[in-house]
Amino acid sequence: MSVKSTAAGGPPAKGRGRTSPRGHAAKPRTGEPGLVQLLTPEGERVEHADYAIDLTPEELRGLYRDMVLTRRFDAEAITLQRQGELGLWASLLGQEAAQIGSGRATRPDDYVFPTYREHGVAWTRDVDPLNLLGMFRGVNHGGWDPNENNFQLYTIVIGSQTLHATGYAMGVAKDGADAAVIAYFGDGASSQGDVAEAFTFAAVYNAPVVFFCQNNQWAISEPTEKQSRVPIYQRAAGYGFPGVRVDGNDVLAVLAVTRAALEHARSGQGPMLVEAFTYRMGAHTTTDDPTRYRRDEEREEWASKDPIARLKTYLEREGFADEDFYAGIDAESDALAKRVREGVRNMPNPGTMAIFENVYADGSALVDEERAQFAAYQASFEDAAAGSSAGTGH
Partner 1 sequence: MTQTMAVAKALNESLRKALENDPKVLIMGEDVGKLGGVFRITDGLHKDFGEGRVIDTPLAESGIVGTAIGLALRGYRPVVEIQFDGFVFPAYDQIVTQLAKMHARALGKIKLPVVIRIPYGGGIGAVEHHSESPEALFAHIPGLKVVSPSNPSDAYWMLQQAIECDDPVIFFEPKRRYWDKGEVDVSALPGDLHRAVVAQQGTDITLAAYGPMVKVCLEAAAAAANEGRSLEVVDLRSLSPIDFDTIQASVERTGRLVVVHEAPVFYGAGAEIAARITERCFYHLEAPVLRVGGFHAPYPPARLEEEYLPGLDRVLDAVDRALAF
Ligand X SMILES: Cc1ncc(C[n+]2csc(CCOP(=O)(O)OP(=O)(O)O)c2C)c(N)n1
Binding footprint of partner 1 on the chain (CB under 8 A): 87-88, 116, 134-141, 156-159, 188-189, 191-194, 219-222, 226-227, 287-288, 292-293, 349-350, 352, 354-356, 359, 364, 366-367, 370, 374, 377, 380-381, 391-394
CB nearer partner 1, residue 49 or residue 157:
157
**Phi and psi (nearest 5°) for 29?**
-95, 155
- Among ligand X, partner 1, Mg ion, none, the one that 28 touches (CB under a kind-dependent 5 to 8 A) is none
282 near ligand X, rule: CB under 6 A:
no
- Among ligand X, partner 1, Mg ion, none, the one that 352 touches (CB under a kind-dependent 5 to 8 A) is partner 1
Residue 162 Cβ vs partner 1, minimum distance, rounded to whole Å: 13
Residue pair 248/232 in contact by the 8 Å Cβ criterion = no
Q: Which of 8, 157, 303, 384 binds ligand X (CB under 6 A)?
A: 157
216 near ligand X, rule: CB under 6 A:
yes
- Among ligand X, Mg ion, partner 1, none, the one that 117 touches (CB under a kind-dependent 5 to 8 A) is ligand X
271 near Mg ion, rule: CB under 5 A:
no
Residue 227 Cβ vs Mg ion, minimum distance, rounded to whole Å: 9
CB nearest ligand X: which residue? Answer: 186
Looking at 82-90, 158-166, 167-175, 210-218, which segment touches Mg ion (CB under 5 A)? Answer: 210-218
216 near Mg ion, rule: CB under 5 A:
yes
> Which residues are marked as active site?
280, 284, 293
Residue 272 Cβ vs Mg ion, minimum distance, rounded to whole Å: 20
- Among ligand X, partner 1, Mg ion, none, the one that 125 touches (CB under a kind-dependent 5 to 8 A) is none
233 near ligand X, rule: CB under 6 A:
no
- Among ligand X, Mg ion, partner 1, none, the one that 226 touches (CB under a kind-dependent 5 to 8 A) is partner 1
Residue 218 Cβ vs ligand X, minimum distance, rounded to whole Å: 6
User: Applying CB under 6 A, which residues contact ligand X?
Assistant: 117, 156-158, 186-189, 216, 218-220, 280, 284
User: Applying CB under 5 A, which residues contact Mg ion?
Assistant: 186-187, 216, 219
